[in-house]
Amino acid sequence: MATVYSAQALAYLGDAVIEVWVRERLVRSGLSGSRELNAEALSYVTAPRQAAAMKKILPALSEDEAAIFRRGRNIGHTNLPRHATASEYRSATGMEALMGWLYLGGRQDRINELLTAAYNENV
């Protein structure tokens, strides 16, 4: 029987997966100063930006992927960031849960495919 992880645990891991994906692409793009790297990375990992990215890839998700996204999106949030709506924060959390789930499933190619489409490889 497969291990079932909580949506919160998947989102926790997925946050790191997205962060590493963004950081790797920024470094490969030639940026080198830590201030510049951090500023650019923040423009990709905020809740509003992740929600916009998620909207782009939602139609491309399989049924299983969409179910994991919904599980993450429906986590009861009590602390919202100042610069995001509740809807943006929920969608970003769903995206993080999806990426955590894909990572645990060894689906690095799918993570790369979805994040590349989500961010139009602007990173």
**Lookup result for tokens 């998700």:** 61
d(CA 73, CA 54): 11
Contact 86/77 with Cβ under 8 angstroms?
Answer: yes
d(CA 116, CA 118): 5
Exposed e or buried b per residue across 12-33, where buried means at least 16 C-beta atoms within 10 angstroms of its C-beta:
ebbbebbeebbbebbeeeebee
Is 64 labeled as catalytic in the residue annotation? no
**Catalytic position from the list 11, 13, 15, 123:** 15
**Residue numbers annotated as active site:** 15
